[in-house]
Structure 1
Amino acid sequence: MAEPANARPSWFVRKDIDGFFGLAIDNIVQILLIVGLCQGVLGFNSDLVYGRILPGVALSLILGNVYYSWLAYRQGLREGRNDLTALPYGINTVSLFAYIFLVMLPVKLDAMASGIAPPQAAEIAWRAGLVACLGSGLIELAGAWIGNRLRRIAPRAAMLSTLGGIALTFIAIGFLLRTFANPIVGLLPLGVILLTYFGQVDFGLPGGLLSVLVGMLLAWATGLVQWDPAVFEQALQPLGFYLPKFWIGAIWEQSGVLSKYFSIILPMGLFNLVGSLQNLESAEAAGDRYPTAPCLAANGIGTLVAAVCGSCFPTTIYIGHPGWKDMGARVGYSWLNGLVMGILCLSGTLGVITYLVPIDAGMAIVLWIGIVIVAQGFTATPKAHAPAVVVGLMPGIAAWGALIAKNSMRVAGVGTPETPFQPEVLVANFKMSDTFIEGAFALEQGVILLAMILAAITVYIIEQKFGLAALWAIAAAILAWFGLIHSFAWTPTDTVVDLGWGTGRDWAISYLMLAVLFVFASWLNKRNKQNKTT
Structure 2
Amino acid sequence: MSQSYPLFVKRDIDGFFGLFIDNLVQLLLILGICGGLCGMSGDNAFYLYRYIFPGAAVSILVGNLFFAWQAHRLAAKEGRSDVTALPYGINTPSLLVYVFFVLAPVYNQTGSVEAAWKMGLIACLGSGVIELLGSLFAERIRKYTPRAALLSTLAGIAIGFIAMSFTLQIFHRPLIAMVPLGLILLALFSHTRFPLGMPGGMVAVACGTIVAWILTAIAPNLSSPPAWLATNTLDPSAVSASFGTLGLYLPQFVGAEIWGLLSDVDAWLGYVSVIVPMGLFNIVGSLQNVESAEAGGDSFATAPSLAMNGIGTICAALFGSCFPTTIYIGHPGWKALGSRAGYSTLNGIVVTVLCCSGLIGLASSIIPMEAGVAIVLWIGIIIIAQAFQATPDNHAPAVAIGLFPAIAAWGATVMAGAFFSANGTTMQDLLTANASAEVNGFLIEGLISMERGYIFTCMILAALSACLIDRKFYAASVWAFIAAFGTFTGLMHSFQLQGNTIDYLLLFSEPAEGALVFSATGIGIGYLGIAVVCIIARSFRSGPDHVAPAHDSASSAEVSTDDESVFNDA
Q: Does the alignment reach a TM-score above 0.5?
A: yes
Contact 1:131 1:257 in 2 (8 A): no
Question: 1:207 — aligned with what?
Answer: 200
Contact 2:495 2:502 in 1 (8 A): yes
Query: d(CA) in 2 for partners of 1:421 and 1:64?
Result: 44
Contact 1:158 1:388 in 2 (8 A): yes
Distance 1:255 1:25, change over 3 A: farther
Q: Deviation at 1:254?
A: 4.4
Contact 2:166 2:377 in 1 (8 A): yes
Contact 1:133 1:314 in 2 (8 A): no
Structure 2: gaps spanning 5 or more residues: 217-231, 510-518, 546-570
Question: 2:325 — aligned with what?
Answer: 314
Match for 1:353 among 360, 363, 366? Answer: 363
Q: Deviation at 1:364?
A: 1.2
Distance 1:121 1:424, change over 3 A: farther
Contact 1:136 1:314 in 2 (8 A): no
Partner AA of 1:214 in structure 2? C
Query: d(CA) in 2 for partners of 1:523 and 1:80?
Result: 46
Distance 1:283 1:213, change over 3 A: same
Q: Deviation at 1:484?
A: 1.4
Question: 1:425 — aligned with what?
Answer: 433
Query: d(CA) in 2 for partners of 1:283 and 1:528?
Result: 32
Please give the secondary structure, in 2, of the residue aligned with 1:398.
helix
Distance 1:522 1:166, change over 3 A: same
Contact 1:406 1:415 in 2 (8 A): no
Contact 1:136 1:303 in 2 (8 A): yes
Partner AA of 2:382 in structure 1? V
Query: d(CA) in 2 for partners of 1:279 and 1:435?
Result: 35
1:279 matched to 2:293: yes
Partner AA of 1:267 in structure 2? F
Deviations 1:375-432 (A, max 9, x none): 221111111111111111111111111122222222222267xx9745323656527x
Deviations 1:435-461 (A, max 9, x none): 321111111111111111111111112
Query: d(CA) in 2 for partners of 1:517 and 1:291?
Result: 37
Deviations 1:441-500 (A, max 9, x none): 111111111111111111112111121111111111112112111111121232221112
Matches within 5 A, 1:385-396: 385-396=395-406
1:512 matched to 2:512: no
Match for 1:189 among 176, 180, 186? Answer: 180
Matches within 5 A, 1:488-499: 488-499=495-506
Distance 1:450 1:111, change over 3 A: farther
Matches within 5 A, 1:214-293: 214-223=207-216, 224-229=232-237, 231-248=238-255, 249=257, 252=262, 254=268, 256-260=270-274, 262-276=276-290, 278-279=292-293, 282=296
Query: d(CA) in 2 for partners of 1:167 and 1:70?
Result: 27
Query: d(CA) in 1 for partners of 2:380 and 2:78?
Result: 38
Question: 2:52 — aligned with what?
Answer: 53
What TM-score comes out, normalization by structure 1 length?
Answer: 0.81
Query: d(CA) in 2 for partners of 1:381 and 1:255?
Result: 42
Deviates more, 1:395-404 or 1:272-281: 272-281
Q: Deviation at 1:228?
A: 3.2
Question: 1:91 — aligned with what?
Answer: 88
Please give the secondary structure, in 2, of the residue aligned with 1:16.
coil
Partner AA of 1:56 in structure 2? G
What TM-score comes out, normalization by structure 2 length?
Answer: 0.76
Matches within 5 A, 1:162-173: 162-173=153-164
Matches within 5 A, 1:459-470: 459-470=466-477
Question: 2:22 — aligned with what?
Answer: 30
Partner AA of 1:424 in structure 2? T
Q: Deviation at 1:158?
A: 1.0
Query: d(CA) in 2 for partners of 1:222 and 1:24?
Result: 26
Count how many residue pairs are aligned between Structure 1 and Structure 2: 503
Contact 1:487 1:504 in 2 (8 A): yes
Question: 2:555 — aligned with what?
Answer: none
Identity of aligned residues (%): 33
1:445 matched to 2:452: yes
Q: Deviation at 1:33?
A: 0.4
Contact 1:72 1:86 in 2 (8 A): yes
Please give the secondary structure, in 2, of the residue aligned with 1:226.
coil
Contact 1:131 1:255 in 2 (8 A): no
Contact 1:157 1:459 in 2 (8 A): yes
Question: 2:418 — aligned with what?
Answer: 408
Partner AA of 1:485 in structure 2? M
Please give the secondary structure, in 2, of the residue aligned with 1:242.
coil
Deviations 1:124-149 (A, max 9, x none): 4x667656654554455446554532
Partner AA of 1:319 in structure 2? H
Contact 2:290 2:302 in 1 (8 A): no
Query: d(CA) in 1 for partners of 2:325 and 2:206?
Result: 28
Contact 1:170 1:400 in 2 (8 A): yes
Deviates more, 1:102-111 or 1:501-510: 102-111
Query: d(CA) in 2 for partners of 1:20 and 1:352?
Result: 24
Distance 1:19 1:254, change over 3 A: farther
Deviates more, 1:457-466 or 1:55-64: 55-64
Please give the secondary structure, in 1, of the residue aligned with 2:537.
helix
Distance 1:268 1:68, change over 3 A: closer
Partner AA of 2:51 in structure 1? R
Contact 2:57 2:356 in 1 (8 A): yes
